[in-house]
């Protein structure tokens, strides 16, 4: 297993290289001169002084051909230098380190909330198929999966902040600020997890070994807890892992609505303001996190399902 | 291998408990601060604290790399020259200034008894080093012809330019040139925090979230009444509106027109609207048919119903434009009446230009070619796409068929540079440098027309001469006359359709007084604001 993990970690490098190359190319083919876009955002004017644009082009190294620029960038990254933001003159690493903790907290809290909503509902829906809980779960899932997350966010703000005045509308501070953004994300992530849990659970409950377990007179609770749920959760965990990876960078709308300066917002703002070193840095980080989470998910199967072993292929 | 038991029910109970505690402590915290606030409000004479929410998040606090706007708007730093509410220059840290006969040497008389927030005196040396640093590091100063900055005596600064350059004082309103104390830097020249001369002192900040200010009791001008100001960056307008309704913001800045109705019904919120120096306009591509012809350009000017645009696109919050500058601005030529909606006149002009609907398909044609044009605009400014749609239908009324191209700003400007458009709809800032020279040079002078902002091929020798003259004329009244004439000539040549001026919308808590958005958004003048 150690060998497998090591191999997966080594695989990270070609993956990141490929991703960085693709991002670099996309950025190069996007219309507009990054120096001009940067100054437009920095100075808040449509027409930045031409002298300043020329100087910044030089500083950004835009006068060199694409492949030279990419190699220069790569060289610096390999030496641990991700460059700096042209908007704030802070290093890309500083920018990411300001934003990442916010997104990590948001991702963890919303993931937990989502699991808390999805797995009980999914399990009960499977055990008591066509019951009231199952039907409510179905309707709820359909509804929440169809409503865009920004709308859910606004509804939650109206209910919890304006009407009941329990949580603050937006901002970043104590724990009370995390509840609404996390709940919004949880509500929009939960439906698919719920349905997946239900389907997977139904499938497991029809297996022979469950019938055997029942036949030998095992208590129903025991069957559900030890024999069914654990097996049914394997696909669910894969999906939750993917969702968790998506949360890094995928939460930009929620981060914008709740005024949380997380990594999704950093990425999107860097694209809008021509801050390409920050864009590249964010993409690298997000990709690395995504790959890492996938690895953790794959490794976690071993703990859930002892049949799965990652043997060295010979 | 370790075997983990997934005791599901147990896990859920644990999670529910944890989250319950989080949620509960959330309520407690919130209530805690609430009661605190109420007590503060009851106790009169207690500290006055103002919270502002704005889309401009504080990205940096170094004035030379992206922080100057936030510092200047929040009154931490001040410049030599300031701008009044009509967009005209006014004394700032300089009490007065004059220029030599040849227009090359500028003398600025600095205000005495001004102190930085660290109690060091503001003098000509501090001003000189800040200005030199700005010229070295700030992008906005790269294009101005300063030859030297010298000190004459303790409160007299002498700036010489390489050529006569009337807009110089206007450049000295830019926040990058504001003096900051030498203690803003450490011994290695690394920036620490902004120490300026303004009515508010910098206290702390969280990047991209907020800046906290405290009042400067030793301020030389109007003494600030607020004790503390918290300036928050809230990127989403809906969030600012809801925070304002929930009482989390005293001032929610820069809101969309559709917010006004909802806010007016709230009892404790006033909606403050104010014209700002920005105009929506359409530039014609004068290099090709059909807009190389004056009559066709004029016809479009008459065919557009500017009142309807304000009423339906801007929900009534906006002012139809007559000329380049909004009428409340000093530089506006208020004698001009612009073009008024007259579709009959538009049709006649088009007919005179030879465009007649011969095949009865509703679209005019000339020599067998239908009158079809491309109207280009971009999505970044929310009101532009619906404005374009409405103009499309207004033009159809007089027989002009238009194809809309709505792109991202950068893609649209590539098309504009390639000349692949007939009409280009933009929002144009007027007083980035609070002097007409920059906008005149960029948009109306033909030497810059080629790679200037509008790229539309306007050329009028007389306009060129006047703009050149305005640049070297030092007397402000005389310059006003020059730019009045330029505005008149441009209106006659109709290279542009002026549509409407931007109106800034802020939601202000009824207890807040003295607040007004500045027409070029350069300072909030918080020293005038108080809570009652």
Q: B23: how many CB neighbours lie within 10 A of its CB?
A: 17
Enumerate the residues of chain B whose CB falls inside 8 A of the CB of residue A112: 15, 19
Percent of chain B with pLDDT over 70: 90
CATH of B276-502, one of 2.40.340.10, 3.90.1150.10, 2.40.50.140, 3.10.105.10: 3.10.105.10
Q: Strands, DSSP E only, in chain A?
A: none
- B429 reaches A (C-beta below 8 A): yes
Q: Which residue of B has its CA nearest to A36?
A: B410
Question: Please, which residues bridge with residue B425 across strands?
Answer: B282
Strands B496-509 and B269-284: antiparallel
Instruction: Say whether both A83 and A107 belong to one domain.
Output: no
Would you kindly state where each structural domain of chain B is located, as residue ranges?
A: 9-43, 49-57+193-275+504-531, 81-184, 276-502
Give the pLDDT confidence score for residue B454 in this predicted structure.
62
This prediction has a pTM of 0.87
* Residues B396, B390: Cα–Cα separation, whole Å: 10
Structure confidence by residue, pLDDT tens digits, A70-87: 999 999 999 989 999 999
Altogether, the residues listed in chain B come to a count of: 532
Among A71, A92, A113, the domain boundary falls at A92
Instruction: Say whether both A109 and A258 belong to one domain.
Output: yes
Burial (Cβ within 10 Å: 0-12, 13-18, ≥19) of residue B392 = middle
The label of the residue with tokens 């997890």 reads: A193
Residue B450 has pLDDT above 80, yes or no: no
How many Cα atoms are found within 13 Å in the side-chain-facing hemisphere of B103?
16
CATH number (domain holding residue A273): 1.10.3720.10
Structure confidence by residue, pLDDT tens digits, B390-402: 999 999 999 999 9
Q: Which residue of A has its CA nearest to B521?
A: A44
The phi and psi torsions of B325 (rounded to 5 degrees) equal -95, 145
The phi and psi torsions of B475 (rounded to 5 degrees) equal -75, 125
Average pLDDT, chain B: 88
Enumerate the residues of chain B whose CB falls inside 8 A of the CB of residue A278: none
Instruction: Say whether both A12 and A109 belong to one domain.
Output: no
Give, in degrees to the nearest 5, the angle at Cα B403 between B398 and B409: 125
Give the pLDDT confidence score for residue B21 in this predicted structure.
46
Q: Which of B59, B143, B233 sits opposite A51 (nearest CB)?
A: B143
Residue that wins the pLDDT comparison between A200 and B42: A200
Instruction: Say whether both A48 and A162 belong to one domain.
Output: no
Give residues with Cβ within 8 angstroms of B415, minimum separation 6: B376, B405, B407, B421
Enumerate the residues of chain A whose CB falls inside 8 A of the CB of residue B65: 88-89
Give the pLDDT confidence score for residue B30 in this predicted structure.
40
Tell if the CB–CB gap between A225 and B8 is shorter than 8 Å. yes
Q: Which residue of A has its CA nearest to B58?
A: A88
For residue A52, the distance in angstroms to the closest alpha carbon of chain B comes to 5
Give the pLDDT confidence score for residue B4 in this predicted structure.
37
Which of A94, A176, A183 is the mutation pick for testing B, counting most B CBs within 10 A?
A: A176
Distance of CA B442 to the CA centre of its chain: 17
- B62 reaches A (C-beta below 8 A): yes
Asked whether residue A200 is assigned to any structural domain, the reply reads yes
Tell if the CB–CB gap between B139 and A98 is shorter than 8 Å. no
Give the pLDDT confidence score for residue A310 in this predicted structure.
65
- A93 reaches B (C-beta below 8 A): no
Which is nearest to B253 in space by CA: B70, B499, B386, B383?
B70
Question: Which H, E and C letters describe B288-320, residue by residue?
Answer: CCCCCCHHHHHHHHHHCCHHHHHHHHCCCCCEE
Instruction: Say whether both A173 and A282 belong to one domain.
Output: yes
**A279 token code pair:** 């864009």
Residue B490 has pLDDT above 90, yes or no: yes
Which of B238, B278, B411, B417 is the mutation pick for testing A, counting most A CBs within 10 A?
A: B238
Strands B512-513 and B530-531: antiparallel
Among A92, A124, A152, the domain boundary falls at A92
> Which architecture, in CATH terms, is B49-57+193-275+504-531?
3-Layer(aba) Sandwich (3.40)
Instruction: Say whether both A61 and A120 belong to one domain.
Output: no
Tell if the CB–CB gap between A303 and B4 is shorter than 8 Å. yes
Asked whether residue A310 is assigned to any structural domain, the reply reads no
Instruction: Say whether both A163 and A298 belong to one domain.
Output: yes
Burial (Cβ within 10 Å: 0-12, 13-18, ≥19) of residue B70 = buried
**B510 token code pair:** 């009824």
Positions of chain A with pLDDT under 70: 1, 306, 309-314
Q: Which residue of B has its CA nearest to A48?
A: B140
Enumerate the residues of chain A whose CB falls inside 8 A of the CB of residue B410: 30-32, 37
Tell if the CB–CB gap between B238 and A154 is shorter than 8 Å. yes
Does residue B177 contact residue B144 with C-beta atoms inside 8 Å? no
Give, in degrees to the nearest 5, the angle at Cα B520 between B181 and A41: 75
Residue B15 has pLDDT above 80, yes or no: no
Tell if the CB–CB gap between B442 and A167 is shorter than 8 Å. no
Asked whether residue A311 is assigned to any structural domain, the reply reads no
* Residues A133, A126: Cα–Cα separation, whole Å: 10
Give residues with Cβ within 8 angstroms of B429, minimum separation 6: A44, A45, A46, B277, B278
Which is nearest to A47 in space by CA: B364, B432, B321?
B432
How many Cα atoms are found within 13 Å in the side-chain-facing hemisphere of B483?
26
For residue B359, the distance in angstroms to the closest alpha carbon of chain A comes to 41
* Residues A123, A196: Cα–Cα separation, whole Å: 10
Instruction: Say whether both A199 and A272 belong to one domain.
Output: yes
Structure confidence by residue, pLDDT tens digits, B425-440: 999 988 889 999 988 9
SS3 at position B497: strand
pLDDT band, very low/low/confident/very high, at B37 (cuts 50, 70, 90): very low
Q: B43: how many CB neighbours lie within 10 A of its CB?
A: 9
> What does the DSSP 8-state code read for residue A165?
-
For residue B306, the distance in angstroms to the closest alpha carbon of chain A comes to 24
Instruction: Say whether both A143 and A64 belong to one domain.
Output: no
Q: Which residue of A has its CA nearest to B453?
A: A47
Tell if the CB–CB gap between A169 and B239 is shorter than 8 Å. yes
CA R_g for chain B: 27
Enumerate the residues of chain B whose CB falls inside 8 A of the CB of residue A50: 143, 451
* Residues B413, B416: Cα–Cα separation, whole Å: 5
- B419 reaches A (C-beta below 8 A): no
Asked whether residue A313 is assigned to any structural domain, the reply reads no
Residue B41 has pLDDT above 60, yes or no: no
Does residue B526 contact residue B215 with C-beta atoms inside 8 Å? no
CA R_g for chain A: 24
Q: Packing angle between helix A2-29 and helix A66-78, nearest 10 degrees?
A: 140
- What CATH code would you report for B81-184? 3.90.76.10
Residue that wins the pLDDT comparison between B452 and A194: A194
Enumerate the residues of chain A whose CB falls inside 8 A of the CB of residue B207: 88, 90, 98, 261
Enumerate the residues of chain A whose CB falls inside 8 A of the CB of residue B453: 46-47
Give the pLDDT confidence score for residue B202 in this predicted structure.
97
Does residue A28 contact residue A66 with C-beta atoms inside 8 Å? yes
Tell if the CB–CB gap between B30 and A161 is shorter than 8 Å. no
Structure confidence by residue, pLDDT tens digits, B160-170: 999 999 999 99
Residue B13 has pLDDT above 70, yes or no: no
Give the pLDDT confidence score for residue B27 in this predicted structure.
41
pLDDT band, very low/low/confident/very high, at B83 (cuts 50, 70, 90): very high
Where does B304-383 have alpha helices with state H?
Answer: 306-308, 343-352
- A31 reaches B (C-beta below 8 A): yes
* Residues B390, B314: Cα–Cα separation, whole Å: 12
Instruction: Say whether both A170 and A135 belong to one domain.
Output: yes
Tell if the CB–CB gap between A166 and B140 is shorter than 8 Å. no
Instruction: Say whether both A106 and A255 belong to one domain.
Output: yes
Residue that wins the pLDDT comparison between A17 and B37: A17
Which range marks the domain in which residue A14 is found?
2-92
Asked whether residue A59 is assigned to any structural domain, the reply reads yes
pLDDT band, very low/low/confident/very high, at B419 (cuts 50, 70, 90): confident
Q: Strands, DSSP E only, in B171-311?
A: 200-206, 210-215, 228-233, 251-252, 269-284
- A310 reaches B (C-beta below 8 A): no
Q: Please report which helix (H) or strand (E) contains residue A204, including its range.
A: helix A179-205
Own/partner long-range contacts of B284-287 (Cβ < 8 Å, ≥24 apart): B284/B422, B284/B423, B284/B456, B284/B494, B284/B495, B284/B496, B284/B497, B285/B419, B285/B421, B285/B422, B285/B423, B285/B424, B285/B456, B285/B457, B286/B456, B286/B457, B286/B458, B286/B495, B287/B419, B287/B456, B287/B457
Tell if the CB–CB gap between A256 and B235 is shorter than 8 Å. yes
Q: What is the DSSP string of B42-110?
A: HSTTSPPEEEEEESS------IIIIIHHHHHHTTSS--SEEE-TTS-EEESSEEEEEE-TTS-EEEEEE
Size of interface A-B (CB pairs under 8 A): 168
Residue B36 has pLDDT above 80, yes or no: no
Enumerate the residues of chain B whose CB falls inside 8 A of the CB of residue A58: none
Burial (Cβ within 10 Å: 0-12, 13-18, ≥19) of residue B423 = buried
**B135 token code pair:** 């010229």
Please report the ipTM that was assigned to this predicted complex. 0.88
Which of A42, A56, A95, A267 is the mutation pick for testing B, counting most B CBs within 10 A?
A: A42
**A302 token code pair:** 């071993």
Instruction: Say whether both A172 and A231 belong to one domain.
Output: yes
How many structural domains compose chain A? Answer: 2
Give the pLDDT confidence score for residue B451 in this predicted structure.
57
Cis peptide bond upstream of A88, omega within 30: no
Cα B147 to Cα A203, B81, B135, B144, B162, distances in angstroms: 82, 19, 11, 9, 5
């Amino acid at each position: 297993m150690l060998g497998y993990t090591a191999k997966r970690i080594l695989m990270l490098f070609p993956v990141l290289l490929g991703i960085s190359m693709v991002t670099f190319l996309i950025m190069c083919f996007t219309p507009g001169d990054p120096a001009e876009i940067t100054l437009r955002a920095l100075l808040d004017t449509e027409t930045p002084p031409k002298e300043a644009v020329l100087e910044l082009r030089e500083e950004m190294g835009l006068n060199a051909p694409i492949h030279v620029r990419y190699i220069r960038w790569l060289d610096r990254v390999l030496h641990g230098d991700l460059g700096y933001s042209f908007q704030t003159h802070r290093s890309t690493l500083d920018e990411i380190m300001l934003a990442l903790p916010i997104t990590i907290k948001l991702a963890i809290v919303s993931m937990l909330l989502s699991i808390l909503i999805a797995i009980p509902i999914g399990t009960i829906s499977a055990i008591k198929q066509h019951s009231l809980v199952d039907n409510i779960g179905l309707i709820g899932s359909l509804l929440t999966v169809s409503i865009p997350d920004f709308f859910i966010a606004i509804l939650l703000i109206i209910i919890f902040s304006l009407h009941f005045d329990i949580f603050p509308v937006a901002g970043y501070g104590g724990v009370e600020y995390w509840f609404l953004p996390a709940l919004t994300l949880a509500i929009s992530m939960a439906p698919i997890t719920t349905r997946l849990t239900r389907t997977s659970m139904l499938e497991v409950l029809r297996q022979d070994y469950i019938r055997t377990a029942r036949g030998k007179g095992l208590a129903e609770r025991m069957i559900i807890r030890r024999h069914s749920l654990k097996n049914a959760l394997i696909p669910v965990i894969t999906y939750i892992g993917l969702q968790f990876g998506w949360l890094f960078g995928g939460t930009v709308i929620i981060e914008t609505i709740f005024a949380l300066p997380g990594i999704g917002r950093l990425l999107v703002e860097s694209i809008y303001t021509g801050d390409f070193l920050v864009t590249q840095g964010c993409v690298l980080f997000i990709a690395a996190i995504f790959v890492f989470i996938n690895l953790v998910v794959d490794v976690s199967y071993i703990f859930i399902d002892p049949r799965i072993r990652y043997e060295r292929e010979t | 291998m370790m075997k983990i038991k997934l005791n599901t029910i147990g896990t859920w109970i644990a999670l529910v408990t944890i989250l319950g505690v989080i949620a509960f402590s959330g309520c407690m915290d919130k209530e805690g601060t609430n009661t605190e606030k109420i007590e503060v409000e009851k106790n009169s004479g207690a500290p006055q604290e103002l919270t502002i929410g704005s889309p401009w998040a504080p990205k940096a606090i170094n004035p030379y790399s992206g922080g100057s706007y936030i510092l200047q708007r929040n009154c931490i730093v001040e410049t030599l020259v300031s701008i009044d509410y009509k967009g005209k220059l006014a004394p700032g840290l300089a009490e007065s200034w004059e220029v030599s006969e040849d227009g090359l040497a500028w003398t600025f008389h600095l205000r005495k008894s001004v102190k930085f927030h660290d109690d060091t005196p503001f003098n000509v040396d501090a001003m000189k080093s800040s200005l030199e640093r700005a010229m070295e590091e700030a992008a906005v100063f790269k294009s101005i012809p300063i030859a030297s900055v010298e000190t004459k005596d303790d409160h007299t600064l002498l700036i010489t330019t390489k050529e006569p350059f009337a807009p110089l004082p206007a450049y000295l309103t830019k926040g990058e040139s504001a003096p900051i104390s030498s203690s803003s830097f450490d011994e290695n020249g690394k920036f620490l925090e902004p120490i300026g001369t303004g009515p508010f002192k910098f206290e702390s900040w969280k990047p991209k979230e907020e800046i906290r200010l405290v009042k400067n009791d030793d301020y030389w001008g109007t003494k600030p009444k607020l004790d503390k100001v918290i300036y928050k960056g809230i990127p989403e307008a809906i969030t600012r509106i809801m925070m304002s309704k929930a009482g989390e913001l005293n001032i929610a800045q820069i809101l969309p027109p559709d917010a006004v109705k909802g806010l007016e019904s709230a009892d404790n919120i006033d909606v403050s609207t104010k014209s700002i120096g920005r105009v929506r306009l359409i530039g014609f591509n004068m290099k090709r048919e059909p807009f190389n012809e004056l009559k066709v350009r004029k016809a479009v000017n008459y065919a557009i119903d500017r009142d309807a645009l304000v009423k339906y696109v801007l929900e009534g919050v906006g002012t139809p434009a007559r000329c380049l500058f909004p009428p409340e601005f000093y530089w506006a030529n208020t004698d001009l009446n612009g073009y008024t909606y007259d579709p009959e006149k538009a049709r006649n002009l088009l007919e005179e230009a030879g465009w007649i609907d011969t095949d009865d398909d509703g679209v005019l044609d000339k020599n067998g070619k239908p009158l079809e044009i491309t109207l280009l605009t971009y999505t970044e400014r929310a009101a532009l796409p619906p404005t374009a749609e409405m103009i499309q239908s207004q033009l159809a009324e007089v027989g002009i068929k238009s194809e809309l191209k709505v792109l991202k700003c950068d893609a649209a400007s590539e098309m504009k540079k390639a000349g692949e458009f007939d009409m280009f709809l933009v929002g144009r800032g007027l007083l980035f440098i609070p002097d007409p020279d920059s906008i005149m040079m960029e948009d109306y002078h033909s030497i810059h027309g080629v790679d200037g902002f509008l790229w539309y091929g306007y050329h009028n020798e007389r306009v060129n001469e006047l703009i050149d003259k305005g640049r070297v004329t030092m007397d402000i009244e005389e310059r006003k006359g020059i730019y009045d004439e330029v505005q008149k000539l441009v209106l006659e040549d109709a290279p542009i359709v002026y549509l409407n001026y931007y109106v800034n919308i802020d939601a202000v808590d009824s207890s807040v007084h003295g607040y007004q958005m500045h027409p070029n958004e350069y300072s909030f003048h918080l020293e005038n604001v108080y809570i009652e």
